[in-house]
Amino acid sequence: MVLGIIAVVLCLGLGATGLIQAQAAGGRARSAADLAALAGATALTSVFAPADPCATALRVARANGAELGACTIDGEDVTVTVVVPTRILGIPRRAEAAARAGPVNPL
């Protein structure tokens, strides 16, 4: 009986560890996507230092441990998708996130 309880506790701990690792990877991916989209939109609309928005987004994504999956420009909006490689319970996985940045549309 004691071994059964120990096994259950270990399984619950392992499951909780996996969930925490997955949440952390998702958070890193969302942060990298947000920062890359903001950097791209800033580069697109900058008057003083205009630059290629997707190249800027790529640099920022890499600086945050992510790879740029996609970058699209629609008017003044920049939409990016990033991929963060991670390991969840020792298994290689990929956390993906997307973000859009640009001026606020009037209502």
pTM here is 0.83
User: CA-CA distance, 74 to 79, in Å (whole number)?
Assistant: 8
Alpha helices in the chain (DSSP H): 2-45, 53-63
Residues in the chain, total: 107
The answer to whether 58 and 66 have CB atoms below 8 angstroms apart is no
Q: Give the model confidence (pLDDT) of 45-76 as tens digits.
A: 887 878 899 999 999 999 999 999 999 999 88
Domain positions in the chain are 2-101
